[in-house]
Amino acid sequence: MVDLQAQIDAVAVMRSELSSGRSVLLTGEAGSGRTAVLEQLRGEMTDSGRSVVLVRGADAVAELPLVAFAEVIADHGIVGAAPLTIYTNLPVRVRSRGTIVLVDDADALDRASAVLLGQLARAGTLVAVAVTSPDDLPKSVLDEVTHGRWGRVDLAPLGSDDVLRVAAELVGDELAARSAAMLVSLAEGHLSTVVEQVAAAGVLGHGPAGIELGDPVATPALRRRAEEATRGVGPEAYAALERLALAPALPVGLFPGPVVADLVAVGLVAVEGTSIRQTRPLVGLALRSRWSTSERAERQGQLADALGGWPAWSGTSLLMAVRAGRRISDDLLLDAADVALAAARNQEVQEFLDALRTSSPRERLLRGAVAAAEGETATAEQFLREIDLAAVSDSLRVRIGQEWGLALAVRGGDPQRAVRQVTAVLSTISNSVVGRVLETDLVKWRLMAGERAADVEVSPTSDDPRVRLNEAVIGAMLASLGRTAPEVLAYVDAGRALLSEIDEVPGSIPDLLTLSEYLGVAFDGRVAEAERLASRHRDRAAREADPSLGMWEFAAAELALHRGDLTQAEALARRATRHLAWRDFTGLQSAAVALMAAVNARRGRLGAAEDLIGDITDAHTADVKVALHVARTRAERALRSRRRTEAADLLSDAGRTALAHAHLHLALMALDEAFMLDPADDRARAVIDQRGLSPLAAVLARRVEAVLGGTATELALSVDELDEMGLVGRAAHAAHLVARTHSRAGGLATAQKWRSRAILLTTRCGTAWPPARDGGALSPRELDIARRAARRERSREIGAELGLSARTVENHLARIYRKLGIAGRDGLADEMLGENFA
């Protein structure tokens, strides 16, 4: 099973508490991995030579008192004794032997066992107890926890990333986005549910978008969780949940106010404006699983009728009617399909289209749009070609042109062809005002086709809010390439202000505006803020199977590369390649593959990297993002073949090309990397010339000037600035340069201090880039030993905890001292516990 950081941390803290003589309480919801933590803890403590026994509350039987402790009782020679004898003698024997008692599901212990656990705790036995919350502890133990100064570890639910990591480990590859969303929403962070659902749903297929699981299954365990969630809910509220199980959202006015208030209070629904939705999909799944096909259709028909008086919910009403098997007019079905398409609900679009009785140009357009969104480019082209442009209106021609652009540039990866096709459609539009919408769309495909962003003008020239919104989106995208954050946000704010003026806004539009905001913030040097923004939207997209998922994964992966965190960059880039193959409205598929190649190359996997870029063509590298990552991949081959100048030239050339296309921020990062490899004057000037671009650019320029001036003081300030900005990889590189500067000047002690800091910074980001000449990161084992030694744990104690001999620990420490350039434990404590290491 994949290592989960939350569980690793929990085991480490619990070991530390027990080793220091303190009992510990572990809390976490059922299914959160409490049992796995205790089992791992038992294994590690046993390996270190401690006597450990694991008691399971689930083994308790009311009719057989103390059966849960049968193993402990037998091991300590009190089999057959009366309960009073066990209560008085067992705690003494357990403590004298030094046995550690781990208790899982303590809330399920029978009364006699709970009393015995309290006796053990009062006698000073080291115990670790796992329950959902302290309120679930037997009173005899709760008193000890409250007054006995126990340690406490709270095991939080798994985050979306950990859920998907576990799933990928179970099935052998990343999940496709829809399956990922299904699993994340049903699991609610519970490890046991992740494992159970993957096994129950099974693998349906494996394609470029990842592994598709079968339909979710209302397993007995999931139904029990749903019953727990709805326990105490009244009949009216339960009926409301049944209706909400049929549709993603419904009008809040459909339900009595007190019912809504009750359901909100217990966290089963959320009210957003005038709509209400379930917040726990497992409840809806459990409810639907109880109905036969005919009963579900009857309920859908009833809901369709109930929504008849809600004009704003006509689409949902029609969907329920279609699913109930009713006949609907084609015009109504097409209108509903348009709305569903704008919201990227492709399955609903398909359901509406399949209910049509006749074919039409509009129907062909919608089928083409769905096919393109599903990655079936050839099918999409076939549907679009079947439309006679001469027989349709200008407004429909605009939509046909938009779909050609998406199908060819984004899904087909051929933006040049998209430009030609969209231009051809545009030439048939006689109304220039109507055509302006398509003209602004064409800007995106021209940029993807490699045209210079500087040659593209975007200015508000129309009273049509759709045109102005499109122009705001394009303006924000262009500004995010090389303008200041306030300039980017001005376009973003203008676009967001227009959203309320347009009835059917494609779901991609708000995401593109937010992506522009993210890029503006990131390249402004507010890296931590940008990461929080991306993480929030990435988690939402993962829960909802939103088409923006791959886009956010790519954006976060690219920023991780710039930060120097190759581990995070690799995990997100791998996921992005899968999810962009499922949905991509930004044309990032080739860029994601190239990014994955660059990350592989920088981690030393040159063969895998070159395999990835083998299918990238000149048409792909017309995209500046693709070209930059391909250059990074090839530069790494040269660098690891000791052709450092050639590697720097590759990055410089790519950076200059990006500058020529007005991708100033991305160009700067590449030019700075070239300087890091080869600090020549011309490479320095290329970075310094961009100092006015942003606060981040100013920091990089000051670092370059400090390197050229050979001034250790100024360079040290750059280390702090880069570290505070979150560019830990660059901070580590600068710290190495400070160490070398002091070393050349004869300041060996100061040089050692800076070399030590460089290594600790590198340890934080995982991998040094460029590869350090004078020391790398501490390994995970070395870091663990260093932290323990810094806390004044003796080598014998560290070895006992880690299953190592004291001599092996001393050998590790010797290597750590050499890497950090310190004399011994006193220096280690300064380094590991000082302000420079987080």
Query: pLDDT, tens digit, for every residue of 560-581?
Result: 999 999 889 999 999 999 888 8
Lowest mean pLDDT among 54-63, 200-209, 384-393, 603-612: 54-63
pLDDT at 63: 66
Same domain, 206 and 76: no
What is the spatial distance between Cα 339 and Cα 745, in angstroms, rounded to a whole number? 70
Q: Read off the pLDDT of each residue in 438-446 and give the average, rounded to a whole number.
A: 84
pLDDT at 627: 96
Predicted confidence (pLDDT) per residue in 19-33, tens digit: 878 899 998 877 778
Specify the higher pLDDT residue, 683 or 814: 683
**pLDDT bucket at 767, cuts 50 / 70 / 90:** low
What is the spatial distance between Cα 511 and Cα 552, in angstroms, rounded to a whole number? 9
What is the spatial distance between Cα 459 and Cα 475, in angstroms, rounded to a whole number? 8
Distances (CA, A) of 530 to 434, 513, 523: 37, 14, 9
Domain boundary among 123, 154, 185: 154
Burial of 774 (0-12, 13-18, 19+ CB in 10 A): middle
SS3 assignment for 319-379: HHHHHCCCCCCHHHHHHHHHHHHHCCCHHHHHHHHHCCCCCCHHHHHHHHHHHHHCCCHHH
Q: Is the pLDDT of residue 724 over 60?
A: yes
Predicted confidence (pLDDT) per residue in 678-696, tens digit: 999 999 999 999 999 999 9
Predicted confidence (pLDDT) per residue in 731-751, tens digit: 989 988 888 888 888 887 788
Specify the higher pLDDT residue, 5 or 399: 399
pLDDT at 160: 82
pLDDT at 836: 43
Q: Report if residue 568 sits inside a domain.
A: no
pLDDT at 698: 96
What is the spatial distance between Cα 699 and Cα 688, in angstroms, rounded to a whole number? 10
Q: Report if residue 640 sits inside a domain.
A: no
Q: Report if residue 15 sits inside a domain.
A: yes
- Helix or strand holding residue 702 (H, E): helix 695-709
What is the spatial distance between Cα 835 and Cα 820, in angstroms, rounded to a whole number? 16
Domain boundary among 174, 189, 223: 223
Same domain, 173 and 48: no
**pLDDT bucket at 462, cuts 50 / 70 / 90:** low
Q: Which amino acid is at 517?
A: E
What is the spatial distance between Cα 375 and Cα 362, in angstroms, rounded to a whole number? 20
Q: Read off the pLDDT of each residue in 517-534 and give the average, rounded to a whole number.
A: 95
Cβ-based neighbours of 495, under 8 Å, separated by 6 or more: 469, 472, 473, 476, 509, 513
What is the spatial distance between Cα 69 and Cα 32, in angstroms, rounded to a whole number? 24
Q: Read off the pLDDT of each residue in 473-478 and give the average, rounded to a whole number.
A: 90
Same domain, 40 and 168: no
- Signed CA dihedral, 30, 32, 37, 39: sign only: positive
| Range 194-197 contact pairs with CB under 8 angstroms and sequence separation of 24 or more | 194/158, 194/163, 194/166, 194/167, 194/170, 195/166, 195/170, 196/221, 196/222, 197/222
Residue with tokens 């365990």: 221
Q: Is the pLDDT of residue 832 over 60?
A: no
Q: Which residues pair with 154 in a beta bridge?
A: 27
CATH code for the domain of 370: 1.25.40
Q: Is the pLDDT of residue 835 over 50?
A: no
Domain boundary among 399, 420, 449: 449
Predicted confidence (pLDDT) per residue in 769-812, tens digit: 776 555 556 766 777 788 788 777 888 888 877 777 888 888 88
Same domain, 122 and 196: no
The total of structural domains in the chain comes to 4
Cβ-based neighbours of 246, under 8 Å, separated by 6 or more: 288, 296, 299, 300, 303, 320
- Signed CA dihedral, 499, 501, 507, 512: sign only: negative
How many helices, marked H, and strands, marked E, lie in the chain?
A: 43, 10
How many alpha carbons fall within 13 Å on the CB side of residue 29?
15
**pLDDT bucket at 519, cuts 50 / 70 / 90:** very high
Cis, peptide link before residue 465, omega less than 30° from 0: no
Same domain, 149 and 167: no
- Rounded to the nearest 10 degrees, what angle do helices 806-820 and 748-765 cross at? 110
- Signed CA dihedral, 101, 106, 108, 110: sign only: positive
What is the spatial distance between Cα 398 and Cα 392, in angstroms, rounded to a whole number? 10
Same domain, 147 and 25: yes
Predicted confidence (pLDDT) per residue in 615-666, tens digit: 898 888 988 999 999 999 999 999 988 899 999 999 999 999 999 999 999 9
Same domain, 89 and 133: yes
Percent of the chain surpassing pLDDT 70? 94
Burial of 630 (0-12, 13-18, 19+ CB in 10 A): buried
Predicted confidence (pLDDT) per residue in 32-75, tens digit: 788 889 998 998 888 878 889 999 887 766 667 788 888 888 88
How many alpha carbons fall within 13 Å on the CB side of residue 676?
26
Q: Is the pLDDT of residue 335 over 50?
A: yes
Q: In the chain, how long is the greatest CA-to-CA distance?
A: 98
Residue whose C-alpha is closest to residue 740's, from 775, 704, 767? 775
Specify the higher pLDDT residue, 78 or 592: 592
Q: Which residues pair with 151 in a beta bridge?
A: 24
Lowest mean pLDDT among 212-226, 246-260, 413-427, 788-802: 788-802
Same domain, 99 and 219: no
Q: Is the pLDDT of residue 132 over 90?
A: no
The mean of the pLDDT values for the chain is 87
For 787, the domain range is: 780-833
pLDDT at 838: 39
Percent of the chain surpassing pLDDT 90? 47
Same domain, 172 and 136: no
pLDDT at 106: 86
DSSP symbol at 5:
H
Q: Read off the pLDDT of each residue in 163-189 and give the average, rounded to a whole number.
A: 89
Predicted confidence (pLDDT) per residue in 318-334, tens digit: 999 999 999 999 999 99
Same domain, 195 and 129: no
**pLDDT bucket at 423, cuts 50 / 70 / 90:** very high
What is the spatial distance between Cα 8 and Cα 27, in angstroms, rounded to a whole number? 15
Q: Is 602 helix (H, G, I), strand (E, B) or coil?
A: helix
pLDDT at 748: 79
Q: Is 270 helix (H, G, I), strand (E, B) or coil?
A: strand
Q: Which residues pair with 278 in a beta bridge?
A: 269
Q: Report if residue 650 sits inside a domain.
A: no
How many CB atoms within 10 Å of residue 351? 18
pLDDT at 567: 86
- Helix or strand holding residue 275 (H, E): strand 275-278
Distances (CA, A) of 791 to 9, 208, 779, 826: 17, 48, 18, 10
Residue whose C-alpha is closest to residue 515's, from 553, 478, 552, 460? 552
What is the spatial distance between Cα 181 and Cα 538, in angstroms, rounded to a whole number? 11
Q: Report if residue 688 sits inside a domain.
A: no
What is the spatial distance between Cα 187 and Cα 219, in angstroms, rounded to a whole number? 12
pLDDT at 1: 46
- Where helices occur in 506-588 by DSSP H, the ranges are 508-523, 527-544, 549-563, 566-582
CATH code for the domain of 825: 1.10.10
Total residue length of the chain = 838
Q: Report if residue 368 sits inside a domain.
A: yes
Q: Report if residue 455 sits inside a domain.
A: no
- Where helices occur in 583-680 by DSSP H, the ranges are 589-602, 606-613, 618-621, 624-640, 644-660, 664-677
First to last CA, the chain: 28
Q: Report if residue 266 sits inside a domain.
A: no
Q: Which residues pair with 128 in a beta bridge?
A: 24, 102
Q: Read off the pLDDT of each residue in 277-282 and give the average, rounded to a whole number.
A: 94
**pLDDT bucket at 559, cuts 50 / 70 / 90:** very high
Same domain, 142 and 107: yes
Q: Is 253 helix (H, G, I), strand (E, B) or coil?
A: helix
Same domain, 215 and 141: no
pLDDT at 457: 58
pLDDT at 507: 76
Q: Is the pLDDT of residue 420 over 90?
A: yes
